[in-house]
């Protein structure tokens, strides 16, 4: 039996890829897992619900400049390293995998210093600060984007795998998904989402879009507002109890079955997080991307540019987002099937639906190398 530690936390973009990799490893080998995260992060709630063992390490993010605060953080990080080494001694992993977030730092660093095989997965075009530091000591770096390779000091360690996605994203069927969500078969469906909490700039711009299209036939604006703006948007548009506005619009607080929504959609309006982009590419879904402007080192803009360059998406800078531009883009793509089809083909060409399996195989190869030494 293989023993594998996975570490990733802070956001769903770090946690869910780790879960996907674990499930792919389970298909290939008999594996015992231990997930390492922070005591109060999202991972501390999500991972146990998935049925995996969980251990916590305090982790702290470094500022990007030399400050007095960083001195204190480094002292705390030293304590986290000792905790990480204790976890390694008790669990005896064959390989340690990091999927991003500050918590990866201590456990991956301790594993590398203990000569345990290590692998990190970088989801974005612009690597995070933790992965940049770890890239000097780990054995392999699995890249979500090939363009990220030049941003690491040891490119020979890099393997382009793509970003791991949930199998149900690929498996969901369009017709069945539309029936489940109550979307007419002949409707042009636009999925609008800003993540679980929502994207305020997208939500605000969509008010005018809903007003413009509310009485149009053969159109469905399926707007997942997120928790923060749901009541405001619903009340502003005078939506009914079911969140319906006119013939075409539906306002939803949270979509618990996002794979179905992705399968049902013809077009998506969303942010440019790495996991979201991997999922829409797996579906070959054309996109209007509005990168989150405050992402670290503006990495969402760089992610979006890959899709724009391929012809798979249009990008709108957050501060320039207006209802008029969205109305124009939706109208054009709805009425120009050839353009929509071209974008769909380009999007599908960026998809790496076997990324999770490829990363799992990479990790197992590292563990086998160690067992032979």
Residue 249: the pLDDT is 96
User: How far from 250 is each of 102, 263, 290, 349, 351, CA to CA, in Å?
Assistant: 38, 17, 21, 30, 29
Q: Give CA–CA dist 351/165, Å, rounded.
A: 10
Residue 70: the pLDDT is 43
Question: Around 293, how many Cα atoms within 13 Å sit in the side-chain half-sphere?
Answer: 9
Q: pTM value?
A: 0.89
- CATH 3.40.50.2000 maps onto the chain at 2-165+353-372, 168-350
Residue 42: the pLDDT is 87
Residue 66: the pLDDT is 44
The pair of three-digit structure tokens given for residue 104, joined into one six-digit string = 């990866």
The pair of three-digit structure tokens given for residue 23, joined into one six-digit string = 């499930």
Residue 317: the pLDDT is 98
Given a contact cutoff of 8 angstroms between Cβ atoms, the answer to whether 107 and 134 are in contact is no
User: How far from 28 is each of 2, 22, 370, CA to CA, in Å?
Assistant: 11, 10, 18
Low-confidence ranges of the chain (pLDDT < 70): 60-77, 370-373
Residue 134 CA to chain centroid, in angstroms? 20
Q: Which of 93, 80, 90, 71 is nearest to 38 (CA)?
A: 80
Query: Which one is the CATH code of 2-165+353-372: 3.40.50.2000, 2.60.40.10, 3.40.50.150, 3.40.50.970?
Result: 3.40.50.2000
What would the pLDDT profile of 212-229 be if each residue is shown by its tens digit? 999 999 999 999 999 889
Q: Which CATH class is domain 168-350?
A: alpha beta
- Residue-wise DSSP of 249-272: EEEES--TTHHHHHHH-SEEEE--
Residue 310: the pLDDT is 97
E-strand ranges in the chain read 2-7, 31-37, 54-56, 95-98, 118-122, 140-143, 158-160, 188-193, 219-224, 244-245, 249-252, 267-270, 287-289, 313-315
Place of tokens 């730092």: 105
- Residue-wise DSSP of 172-205: --HHHHHHHHT--TT-EEEEEE--SS--HHHHHH
294 contact partners, CB below 8 Å, separation of at least 6:
none
């Amino acid at each position: 039996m293989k023993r594998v530690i996975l570490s990733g936390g802070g956001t769903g973009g770090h946690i869910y890829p780790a879960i996907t990799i674990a499930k792919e490893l389970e298909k290939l080998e008999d594996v015992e897992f231990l997930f390492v995260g922070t005591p109060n992060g999202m991972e501390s709630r999500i991972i146990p619900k998935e049925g995996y063992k969980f251990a916590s390490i305090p982790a702290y993010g470094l500022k990007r400049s030399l400050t007095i605060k960083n001195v204190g953080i480094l002292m705390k990080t030293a304590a986290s390293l000792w905790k990480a080494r204790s976890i390694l001694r008790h669990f005896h992993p064959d390989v340690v995998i990091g999927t991003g977030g500050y918590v990866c730092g201590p456990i991956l660093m301790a594993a590398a210093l203990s000569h345990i095989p290590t692998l990190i997965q970088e989801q974005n075009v612009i690597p995070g600060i933790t992965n940049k530091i770890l890239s000097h000591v780990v054995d392999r770096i699995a890249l979500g984007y090939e363009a990220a390779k030049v941003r690491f000091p040891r490119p020979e360690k890099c393997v382009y795998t793509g970003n791991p996605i949930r199998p149900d994203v690929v498996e969901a069927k369009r017709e069945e998904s539309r029936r489940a969500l109550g979307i007419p078969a002949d409707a042009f469906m636009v999925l609008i989402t800003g993540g679980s909490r929502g994207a305020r700039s997208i939500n605000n711009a969509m008010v005018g879009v809903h007003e413009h299209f509310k009485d149009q036939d053969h159109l469905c604006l399926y707007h997942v507002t997120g928790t923060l703006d749901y009541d405001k948007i619903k009340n502003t548009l005078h939506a009914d109890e079911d969140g319906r506005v006119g013939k075409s619009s539906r306002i939803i607080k949270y979509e618990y079955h996002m794979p179905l929504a992705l399968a049902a959609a013809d077009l998506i309006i969303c942010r440019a997080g790495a996991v979201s982009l991997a999922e829409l590419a797996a579906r070959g879904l054309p996109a209007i991307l509005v990168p989150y402007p405050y992402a670290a080192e503006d990495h969402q803009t760089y992610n979006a540019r890959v899709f724009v360059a391929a012809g798979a998406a249009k990008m709108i800078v957050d501060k320039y987002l207006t209802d008029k531009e969205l109305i124009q883009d939706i109208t054009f793509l709805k009425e120009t099937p050839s353009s929509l089809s071209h974008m769909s083909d380009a999007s599908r060409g960026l998809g790496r639906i076997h990324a999770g399996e490829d990363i799992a195989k990479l990790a197992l190869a590292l563990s086998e190398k160690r067992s032979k030494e």
